[in-house]
Copies of this chain bind each other. A is one copy, B any other.
Amino acid sequence: MTQEKQAFGRIELAPEGHLQLPSPGRRRALKWLFAGGAALGGTATAQALDVPVWSKTLGKPVGADPYGRPSPFEADTVRRISPGLTTTEHSSVAFTPLQNLFGIITPNGLHFERNHAGRPDIDPHQHRLMINGLVRQPKIYSMDDLLRLPSVSRIHFIECGANTAMEWGNVAVPTVQYTHGMLSCAEWTGVLLSTLLDDVGFDRKRARFILAEGADGASLTRTVPIEMALDDVLVAYGQNGEMLRPEQGYPLRLVVPGVQGVSSVKWLRRIEVGDQPWHTREETLHYSDLMPDGMSRQFTWIQECKSVITSPSGGQRLLDRGRYPITGLAWSGRGRIRRVDVSVDGGRNWRIAELQEPILPKALTRFRLDWHWTGEPALLQSRAVDETGYVQPKIRQLREVRGTRSIYHNNAIQTWQVDAQGRVHNVQV
């Protein structure tokens, strides 16, 4: 997909999400005429008796698609590059269409993609992982070696540190795909990094950090503290049951649960054990937080507690008054979500949303609240609280400390404005 890049001053309304029902085209509104179902009688009965062609014919043969694809009617549910981004096509991001998704698992075809030198296609038979540095015995592992070691499977979110970046400067992109779509969640399978560090006999006295290095053209490198490395960091080869997708690091990636996505180094080829941070390009020039005084915070590991309403959300439209489900996602890099509050009046009143179980640590949690839209303008917000008691902040609170020139780590409460025509807009209050 090549796509004209635009500066943010002249952003166009992106292909918006639909409220929920998929549409093959670019539909700007959803017709929900018979919410609760139509009573049987008259035209409704006639319609029910009109047997469609697919009930009278044979369908496609079984196994026609040995590896299946979505329905053609779902062609609108795809990753997209924000028309507002001024990135190059090899160092950019394709956002997950959160407005169209259910539950907490992101299907592999829609996991957000963020590359620094394009997506390599790696031959797993040639791929190797080297572990060196402060270790008793440096080693090189083939994929077969790694697949033979004890493994674990864990459901974790990955969120780019730059997710919701544009909102720092009050520039509002139109849809939740672009405000929050650098966020996905999968069941990852692999070897605990601690297993491998034990295998090479890392120096327990001197080891303070590890460096993870990718095999892509960018040789992306990131420093990870040894406490995290020994806790729940995975050297992962599996994603939602199958091998990693190419754009997720096939055949091997790091997964650093709860930490900004760039640390979950893709196409992982090397891990070095050291006694101090490496201060690489992607942890100095980028992925550091510019503060109001012009200084930068260099290492912001954890993705703090955050949530967003995915429906109704920006670009969608409510066509009639009545019952609407409010639903969205909450997550915290520090553990489990404890509570999500929802407001429809810009934060004056809050109601507690229902949380879908299982509520897993460092994983997405789906929340839901029923809502009756009266036709009046509304300001929809969600506010998450994690198990540490941390409360998701307002954008004003974040700006008081961090200013408006940051790119990374914006976990502010998101506001969606429903106007009297039912149109949903991204606003800041």
Contacts and interface: CB of A to CB of B under 8 A. Distances in A.
A93 interface: yes
B144 A241 contact: no
Contact of A107 (B35, B103, B242): B242
A53 B245 CA distance: 19
B40 A138 contact: yes
A397 interface: no
Contacts of A141: 34, 37-38
A119 B60 contact: yes
Interface in A354-403: 356, 358, 360, 366, 368, 370
Interface string A29-50: 0111111111110001001100
Interface in A144-159: 144-145, 147-153, 155
A241 B102 contact: yes
Contact of A118 (B59, B121, B243): B59
B34 A144 contact: yes
A37 B281 CA distance: 30
Interface size classification for chain A: 35 or more
Interface in A55-97: 55-74, 77-81, 87, 89-94
A43 to B, nearest CB: 10
A66 B54 contact: no
Interface in A137-183: 137-145, 147-153, 155
Contact of A63 (B58, B113, B217, B240): B113
A54 B216 contact: yes
B187 A149 contact: no
A246 interface: yes
B79 A21 contact: no
A128 interface: yes
Given A48-B128, A109-B68, A240 B58 contact: no
Contacts of A200: 37
A2 interface: yes
Candidate in A30, A117, A244 with the most chain B CB atoms within 10 angstroms: A117
B61 A2 contact: yes
B90 A61 contact: yes
Given A63-B92, A144-B31, A240-B103, A37 B247 contact: no
A62 B113 CA distance: 7
Given A59-B117, A102-B241, A37 B140 contact: yes
Given A47-B128, A79-B66, A243-B77, A149 B36 contact: yes
A68 B356 contact: no
A278 interface: no
B110 A94 contact: no
A118 B32 contact: no
The 3 closest A-B pairs by CB, nearest first: A59-B118, A37-B139, A102-B238
Nearest to A3: B63
A221 B252 CA distance: 45
A288 interface: no
A101 interface: yes
A217 B54 contact: yes
B1 A105 contact: no
A298 to B, nearest CB: 26
A416 B243 CA distance: 24
A124 B73 contact: yes
B35 A90 contact: no
A92 B62 CA distance: 6
Interface in A212-237: 215-217, 219, 237
